[in-house]
Amino acid sequence: MGVFVNYACLFRLLLWANALTFITAVNIASDATELSGDRALNRPSSFISVPHAFQPDSFRQFLTLGLSDAFPEDMEGTENCLELLSIFGQRYVTLANCLVSYARPVKVCQNCYTDYNNFENIYKNISSDQSGPGNVSCQDSLLWSDRLMLLPSLYSGLRDIWESAACTNCLTAYQMNLSNETLNFLAKLNQSLICFDKYQQGNHSELCKKCKTAYKQLDELYSKMEGNKTLCIDIEDAMNMTRQLWSKNCSSPRKEMVPVIAVSSFMLFLPIIFYLSNYLHSEQKKRKLIHPKRAKSSHSLMNIQDKFS
């Protein structure tokens, strides 16, 4: 591996040396046609300017030309790897733009699964062990040939985002379409939001009355999907926003809050019950202690009276 890296570094140095030589030759030719006399003598010899025609496209052509001169037998495979690299960059940008566009409200799983599949496929082609044209594999040259390993880092970054969003839970096999359960949830969500918008400007009590059934069905479906572990970030975010909207307009306590209120009330009255029972117990104990004393005093009094009689 170390020898391979050394050869790669040496190859890069030779490539940049050829590039500088090419630029210098172009400058000398342009200077010979544009400068003459004292202007040519006064111009610093160390000044190098890039011609206007030397743009990234021409540099790529020059890069391909340099690779062709250095390794003519691998030219066909090199062109294939450069083409895969270009496609990877395009699909990376497309997927990143999609994720940003649908970040708020979160709808990345619904709208970006096609772009993610394309991005996944091009990376699989690059990382494949199978040799392409010219019997050349692009895996080593594009993925593992340098310390930075830029392509694997870019790929893992977007893959981690996709897996954290759990988008596969809302999609069919191979991430080709939205699942039927997800489509059903989105339909019920749309019904609830339409109802909210219809009664938003009027009396909120009317909203709570008219939209209660639609919201209840949506909440029950969400709980079912949560138990089946078929939730993705799109559904979680949509349900969270819907619950906030419902709580804002309808202040009635939810059913699951009733047990919490009952337990809290019981805990609140526990000290009162404790002190009351303690007080009653102490009073009863006092009565038991006093009664034998009275009985003993009466018995002693009877004995004294018998003696004097």
What pLDDT, on the 0 to 100 scale, is given for residue 280?
A: 74
What pLDDT, on the 0 to 100 scale, is given for residue 56?
A: 45
Containing domain of residue 36, as a range? 1-49
**Do both 68 and 134 map to the same domain?**
yes
What pLDDT, on the 0 to 100 scale, is given for residue 186?
A: 97
Question: What's the pTM value of the predicted model, to 2 decimals?
Answer: 0.59
Q: 9 or 248, which is more confident?
A: 248
Among the listed ranges 56-70, 174-188, 205-219, 255-269, which one has the minimum average pLDDT value?
Answer: 56-70
**Do both 158 and 187 map to the same domain?**
no
What's the pLDDT tens digit per position in 30-83? 444 444 444 333 443 333 344 444 444 554 454 454 544 444 444 445 788 899
C-alpha dist (Å) from residue 156 to 29, 110, 114, 159, 235: 47, 21, 18, 5, 24
Q: Extract the tokens encoding 22.
A: 């090419």
Q: Stretch 170-199: mean pLDDT, rounded?
A: 95
Does a structural domain hold residue 153?
yes
Rounded CA separation 51/29 (Å): 11
**Do both 44 and 73 map to the same domain?**
no
Q: Stretch 256-272: mean pLDDT, rounded?
A: 73
When divided into structural domains, the chain yields a total of 3
**CA pseudo-torsion sign 282, 285, 291, 296:** negative
Q: Confidence class of residue 231 from pLDDT cuts 50, 70 and 90?
A: very high
**Do both 70 and 154 map to the same domain?**
yes
**Do both 122 and 44 map to the same domain?**
no
Does a structural domain hold residue 282?
no
